[in-house]
Amino acid sequence: MTTLPRRALTALAAAALTALTAGAGCAQATPAGHPTTAGLPTPDHVIVVVLENHGYSQIIGSSSAPYLNGTLKAGGANLTNSYAITHPSEPNYYALFSGSTQGRTDDSCIGVQSLTTPSLGSELLAAGKSWLSYNESLPSQGSTACSSGEYAQKHNPWFGFANVPLNTADTFAQFPTDYTKLPKESFVIPNLCDDMHDCSIKTSDSWVKNHLGAYASWAQTHNSLLVVTFDEDDSTTSANHIPTLVYGQHVIPGSSATATYNHYGVLRTLEDLAGLTSHAGNAATASDITGIWN
């Protein structure tokens, strides 16, 4: 039997270790599990649903919200210290979408696209990634109407940005049944009844279950996420403490993110989940959501 010199054995061992390490790296680089530098997954699809005007204690633990609590919270993650930025509604939508309230101080209709600052939509499109919004009761795709029945433009900040094409604003009737056709990231905005603004917690909870429950179940096995948050609380306190839930394949069931987050931190997380290298407004100095990823 030929005996290899010690130097040769050492070289072979080093080569084997290098190959093993490289193999482990390849395993981590699969689409379903490759982490970003922030330790986040890289989901194929993320949907953000924004509901209205209810504080954390009004929703979390409420028997009127069995789907939000019994499915999304129980099977997903709960941000226990999630906060809106201000009052009233519209500035918070701009904060969540662009990292700034953009000087909005009321709920007035924008009417025309005038802002050219970065937003999640413009960043995704500039990076060659897909973006859409799905807006319940929007009269037609890209409509700049201020209101129509239960539809209100004040909840749709993308209409304020000249660098976000109008044709990326779909009606909710255009929401696909084949979820593989969803964009990389999208927002779903229920109308004034189904978002809890005009109707009950139970009505909205049922709407989320009936219209997005199938997607949520699909997301669990298809490298995707559902995020449900609120624009603001009900304005009875100054805390602006709101519910935010994250659900999907890479979320630890029943987990909690206990650090303090606001709309800027959620936006930062959405940007990093998409692998973007740019961060809009105050998202640039915000922290990613941690402690919930498996």
50 strand-pairing partners: 229
* Tokens 């559902």 belong to residue: 226
Q: How far apart, in whole angstroms, are the C-alpha atoms of residue 291 and residue 37?
A: 15
Contact indicator for 250, 66 with CB cutoff of 8 Å: no
C-alpha torsion 224→99→40→249, nearest 10: -20
Q: What is the pLDDT of residue 38?
A: 52
Residue 290 lies in a domain: no
Residue 18 lies in a domain: no
Q: What is the pLDDT of residue 110?
A: 86
Tell me how far CA of residue 225 lies from CA of 192, 212, 241, in angstroms: 24, 11, 23
Residue 292 lies in a domain: no
- What is the residue range of 84's domain? 41-285
Q: What is the pLDDT of residue 205?
A: 99
Residue 52 lies in a domain: yes
Q: What is the pLDDT of residue 112?
A: 78
CA atoms within 13 A on the CB side of 171: 11
- Provide the 3-class DSSP secondary structure of residue 59: helix
Q: What is the pLDDT of residue 90?
A: 98
Residue 26 dihedral angles phi and psi, to the nearest 5°: -65, -40
Alpha carbon 11 to chain centroid, angstroms = 48
Residue 60 lies in a domain: yes
Structure tokens at 252: 């630890």
Residue 137 dihedral angles phi and psi, to the nearest 5°: 70, 5
Q: What is the pLDDT of residue 33?
A: 40
Q: Is 112 exposed, middle or buried (0-12, 13-18, 19+ CB in 10 A)?
A: exposed
Residue 226 lies in a domain: yes
Q: What is the pLDDT of residue 6?
A: 39
Structurally, how many domains does the chain consist of?
1
pLDDT, mean of each 10-residue run, the chain (294 residues)? 39 36 31 52 98 97 98 98 98 98 95 92 98 98 97 97 98 98 98 98 98 98 98 92 98 98 98 98 98 96
Alpha carbon 169 to chain centroid, angstroms = 17
CATH number of 281's domain: 3.40.720.10
DSSP tag of 125: H
Q: How far apart, in whole angstroms, are the C-alpha atoms of residue 95 and residue 84?
A: 9
Q: What is the pLDDT of residue 39?
A: 86
Residue 231 lies in a domain: yes
Determine how β-strand 131-135 pairs with β-strand 244-248: unpaired
Q: What is the pLDDT of residue 17?
A: 35
Residue 12 lies in a domain: no
